[in-house]
Amino acid sequence: MLWNRRRPGLAKVVYIGSTVATILAILPLYPRALDGAITTQRLVSIAPRISLAFRVDTVGFYFALLLGVLWLLCSIYSLGYIQKNETRYYCFLSLNLSFCLGVALSANMFTLFIFYELMTLFTYPLIIHEETEQARKAGLKYLVYSVSAGAVIMLGLILQYYYGGTLSFLGHGTLKLSQVGKPILLTIFSIYMLGFGVKACIMPLHGWVPDAHPAAPAPASALLSGVILKVGIFGIIRVMFDVFGIELLKTLGVALPMLIVASFSIIVGSLFALTQDELKRRLAYSSVAQVAYIVLGLFLLAPDGAIGGLLHIAHHAFMKGCLFLAAGVIIHETGKKKVSEMSGIGSRIPLTMAAFAVGALGMMGIPLTCGFITKWFLGLGTIQAHHPCFIAVLLISSLLNAVYFLPIVYVAFFKGESPEGESRLLRRETKRSMLVPVMICAGMIIILGVFVTVKGFPYSLVEVVVKAVF
Amino acid sequence: MEHAAVHIEIANSVLPAVAILLPLLGAAAVALIGNRNERLRDIAAAVFAAGAFVTCAAMFPSVMSQGTKLTVSLPIFFGDFRLTADSLGLLFALFASLVWMLATIYSRAYIQHEERRTRYHVFSLLTEAATLGVFLASDFFVLFVFFELMGMLAYALVVHTQTYEAKKAGVKYIFMTVYGGLSLLAGVFLFLMYAGGLGFTAHPGSAYLTTSACFLVSGFMIGGFGVKAGMVPLHVWLPLAHPAAPSPASALLSGVMIKAGAYGFLRIIGTFQVGAPAHSGMGMVASGAGEAGHAAQVPVFMHNLQTLGWVIIWFGILTMVVGMVLALVQDNAKRLLAYSSISQMGYILMGLGVGAYMGAEGGMGLAGGIYHIVNHSLFKSLLFLGVGAVYYMTHVLEISRLGGLWRKMPVTCALTCIGGLGIMGMPLFNGFASKTLLHHAVVEALGVGGGWMRAVDIIFMVAAGGTVCYVAKLLILTFFGHHREESAHEITEVPWAMRLGMGGLATGVVLFGVFPGLVIRKIILPALRPFVNLDPQAVHHLEEIRIFTPANLLAILPALAIGTGIFLVATRWDLFQLRLPKKVGVAYFYTRTELGFLRLCFAGSKRNAELRSVYWPIAESFGEYLYDSWKAMSEEYDRLRDVIKPSGIGMYLYGTLKALGVDYRRFSKTAFERMLLLPMDIAGLASYVRARQFTGDIAYGVIVITAMAALLALTLFW
């Protein structure tokens, strides 16, 4: 795409320009997406009834917009953060954006799968970017997990096509209980869950996450956690809404097992996070727990639960984006990777740590942050679904989030002496290109948490999606 | 039908929003001015705090006197974020903003000797906005949002001095706050589920009113509000946090924010108010008269409310006694006052509990509780400010090191003594009126509750005696007698801003004490308006009540006698130095729980040994009390790891077993390992469990693909 080894500067400009252009290209679709209208475009036919085709519906648009925004923020951040092999980095970053968009805007399972696999492969260079021993190991682990998961999805694809006759997304379930039979439907469902569950890091398929995140450079971790995990979730959404359909899922009785699996992920992920001393590892485990929130919300199979789950895709993207980018600033400016070493860094990089604190509060679901909105809708969903016991999962998880996030903030601000004293005000905190995305993320956490119903914000889109499905 | 359910008008008005926005704007202004012009900054803070008070006062005529509800809807959150000033909420908002204004004026001088003055003012004003939001919320959702915010923002006030004590208190504070918020949130969700809405009253006919679901809901809510209200056994943060904050902030914490908890209790009781049974034709007979045979005629929710009231009474009694006993043995003046706050919250909870317990006849208990809430916020803030003034001059908080200050600080002494007389419940000071009402309420309940209420009455009396004693101890040791220690500083009267702040509160204490009838008619009774179940006759009776009767005046004599007795005995044999063993306090058990939890978490980490060393500092940051126990635990783990060398999940199970009390040593290493791994081997997951190394991951991939192939085969040849 922009393979310009000699002039990385130009590459950067072209790259950022293309990201902005992508967002601008997505935006005109907004009014149609809000109406719930669907735009379809067939590209190539591979075989009868199997084709590469694109379609913009509301959920796809929502995801695509989120991808664009977060990608732009992380790219700007990368300008300051990435020091070596810039061209390679930007090239793969850019390719990944287009593949992720391909997933978001695909019109059938086949297209989705193709882009999903491409994205999986092309994320690898981002993870091993640092080229350390640790990164290589993590990368290999990632590949093994993802490729085997890909094979599993392929299997699901075959089965779905064989029994259902189509791979297209039609806005409702295409598999019919009367034609296929329960055992096979259950098999297809579990195959899809196993396949997409690896990327969506549902426990116990999360093994690659805690290694890959700390190994990747900070902006890439933010993207991994913020949107690439969500691509797995997006696959699950498509499976739920467009392959099976809500009614069929209710008949199949898969909701409760999935809720239990998600709850397990939420609680155990948080418990694991609690014991990590390396900040990015802790954040990675936190992602395992938080992405399971989305699964929990979706599988409540209730409108409010689904709203909560879908909202959390964007909310978590900004919160985790904020935390990972802030972690990147910490590493870049102080070289500290471990929580126990972070005494007093609050006085060295106050704005960053303030943003980190906002992200942490968001994770805990304190009002005025978007995490609270998620928690609220998930809580409403549990009531709608007549599973109020899952409120306990949400609340315990919030408490655990407090237990493993607050000490970081506490240690940074209140522990140790401020080393520089007066001169700190004169010193620049960090590169502007890194500080600005962090602050934007923190700002978004609060804006999304307060002005929920503003047109164009996640809620307005998610509402349309959920209305169409339920 | 001249009952209490007066037609309540609802009018749109921006005033509730203005009351919250003013402190917010003030915070912004203060942050902008910053340290550039300290004088202007302090004045701005006081002006904006005063603005909030004036706004609340402006709502007074229409809300309190005419019974209108002022409401405004803000387009945030889900589009209809509604603030409503009803008479109950406005009463709270009114005294909250009054105390806040006076404390802000006071802090203008006080805060001079603290660091980070701008931060203090910013967070003080932000917290004021959140607190007013709690009181002006229109439903449980809005209330929860502000309640949580208030708790979080006040953290900055608690840790303001950033001393070791303050940080330790802060840790305890923040975790109790988070816990309380979650409990409240659970309560709110369940309320929505059972009561069919988030408004402050349940829908008639909902499960909340017709079944015992209300206990589940109110249990969770009390778990949340109780933390803030310092209800025993959820009070452990309070005696740490209130003394740790700077004095004006302590005054606000103890005087105002703690009342948000009591306000929550009132709202819980309010959820049961769905129109008086008297005019819905349902049996009114039994609830007042206490004849068991008629109990079946009482609607279920009135019966539930009675049970709930009974529980609250006893929590109140427990809180009252624990706070009183611990206040007696404190030497640190602010800690003494903090325990005193706990004890006084016990009075308030008891009053509210009696109000709920008596159902339609509960007007006296509720009125007494509300009156005491207002009074307590006046005299407790005053006492904290007085002690703060002493600290400002002497830098001493231990009352055994003070004495004879009345010569050098006569105004401070006089004002603080007014507060002290208020809390003791002396006639002509405000505590007398509210304690009299509370006492009347208990006496009325004697008719229903019998022997139990007799016990309540006696404990109430003893607690009042204890209050007299610890306040006398505080005042006498601080201001009177001879000067025990030469101070390094020149002690003079405090600056005018501090005197003004205290003077305002002292005026309130006296006014509310001299004109109790007026206060009851104009302020307390209108605040009872949301409680529509109340029997109009009983409410009317309240209007006529006379406080300064000989019987009431005589009723304080036992308390005075008990107080003087304890004081004399304790000073004679030096009993004020008594300390209880650690294991008696609930805090000990909290620590045990925290440790047990951490132990469980770390049991799951196979890197325990290496992590432990880096986690020590963090464990320490949770509080030094965890540190020692942590060390012991780690040594135990070393022993454990010598016995067996399990995988990650193995360690986790060990931890669970250990927590359950199973002795792992009974299992030999190999047998246990095998037992553990066998089912996982069968499930093909063993390699995953061990997939810490790279080979394990390959194995994982192979297993997944093989399993898929098997599944495929199975499906095709079904």
Alpha carbon of A16: minimum distance to chain B alpha carbons (Å): 33
Cα B309 from chain centroid (whole Å): 18
Residue A145 contacts B where some CB pair is shorter than 8 Å: yes
Alpha carbon of A363: minimum distance to chain B alpha carbons (Å): 13
Average pLDDT over residues A424-428: 53
- DSSP states of A327-365: HHHHHHHH---BGGG-TTGGGTSHHHHHHHHHHHHHHHT
Q: Which residue has the higher pLDDT, A50 or B198?
A: B198
Q: Is B236 helix (H, G, I), strand (E, B) or coil?
A: coil
From A373, A411, A414, residue closest to B618, measured CB to CB: A411
Measured between CA atoms, the residue of chain A closest to residue B145 is: A367
Beta-sheet pairing, B68-74 with B9-12: parallel
Contact A260, A392 (CB under 8 A): no
Do B715 and A388 count as a contact with CB atoms less than 8 A apart?
Answer: no
| Dihedral angle, C-alpha B421, B422, B426, B430, nearest 10 ° | 150
For B611, the token pair is 């992590």
Residue B79 contacts A where some CB pair is shorter than 8 Å: yes
Total beta-carbon pairs less than 8 A apart between chain A and chain B: 145
Task: Report ipTM (2 d.p.).
Answer: 0.90
* Alpha carbon distance B700, B707 (integer Å): 10
| Dihedral angle, C-alpha B587, B588, B593, B597, nearest 10 ° | 100
Contact B506, B419 (CB under 8 A): yes
Cβ neighbours of A180 in B, within 8 Å: none
Cβ neighbours of B118 in A, within 8 Å: none
Measured between CA atoms, the residue of chain A closest to residue B608 is: A275
pLDDT band at A313 (very low <50, low <70, confident <90, very high): very high
Give the H/E segment covering residue B69: strand B68-74
* Alpha carbon distance A10, A135 (integer Å): 28
Beta-sheet pairing, A39-47 with A50-56: antiparallel
Which residues of chain B register pLDDT less than 70?
A: 1-8, 275-297, 484-489, 574-709, 711-718
> Does the pLDDT at position A50 exceed 80?
no
* Alpha carbon distance B520, B368 (integer Å): 9
Average pLDDT over residues A431-444: 90
* Alpha carbon distance B403, B424 (integer Å): 20
Tens-place pLDDT, residues B356-395: 998 888 889 999 999 999 999 999 999 999 999 999 988 8
* Alpha carbon distance B599, B581 (integer Å): 25
Tens-place pLDDT, residues B302-331: 888 999 999 999 999 999 998 988 888 888
Cβ neighbours of A361 in B, within 8 Å: 152
* Alpha carbon distance B378, B382 (integer Å): 6
> Does the pLDDT at position A335 exceed 90?
no
User: In the prediction, which pLDDT does B684 show?
Assistant: 37
pLDDT band at A267 (very low <50, low <70, confident <90, very high): confident
**Matching residue, tokens 């997406």:** A33
Do A145 and B192 count as a contact with CB atoms less than 8 A apart?
Answer: no
Disruptive mutation site among A137, A199, A395 for chain B (greatest number of B CBs within 10 Å): A395
User: In the prediction, which pLDDT does B631 show?
Assistant: 55
Distant-in-sequence, close-in-space partners of B593: CB < 8 Å, separation ≥ 6:
none
Whole-angstrom CA distances from B9 to B83, B547, B713 are 15, 32, 72
Eight-class DSSP state of B494? P
User: In the prediction, which pLDDT does A87 show?
Assistant: 80
B694-715 exposure pattern, b = at least 16 Cβ within 10 A, e = fewer: eebbbbbbebbbeebeebeeeb
Alpha carbon of B242: minimum distance to chain A alpha carbons (Å): 19
Whole-angstrom CA distances from B233 to A212, A222, B214, B319 are 45, 42, 22, 8
**Nearest residue to B273 (alpha-carbon basis) of B535, B96, B79:** B535
Cβ neighbours of B605 in A, within 8 Å: 272, 275
Residue B693 contacts A where some CB pair is shorter than 8 Å: no
Average pLDDT over residues A311-336: 92
Range with the poorest average pLDDT among A140-149, A273-282, B47-56: A273-282
Cβ neighbours of A152 in B, within 8 Å: 704-705, 708
**Nearest residue to A306 (alpha-carbon basis) of A162, A190, A468:** A468
Q: Where are the domains of chain A?
A: 254-470
Tens-place pLDDT, residues B428-437: 999 999 999 9
Contact A119, A96 (CB under 8 A): yes
* Alpha carbon distance A337, A351 (integer Å): 18
**Nearest residue to B246 (alpha-carbon basis) of B45, B343, B31, B391:** B391
Residue B1 contacts A where some CB pair is shorter than 8 Å: no
* Alpha carbon distance B370, B364 (integer Å): 10
Distant-in-sequence, close-in-space partners of B211: CB < 8 Å, separation ≥ 6:
B194, B300
Contact A18, A72 (CB under 8 A): no
Residue A382 contacts B where some CB pair is shorter than 8 Å: yes
* Alpha carbon distance B57, B528 (integer Å): 18
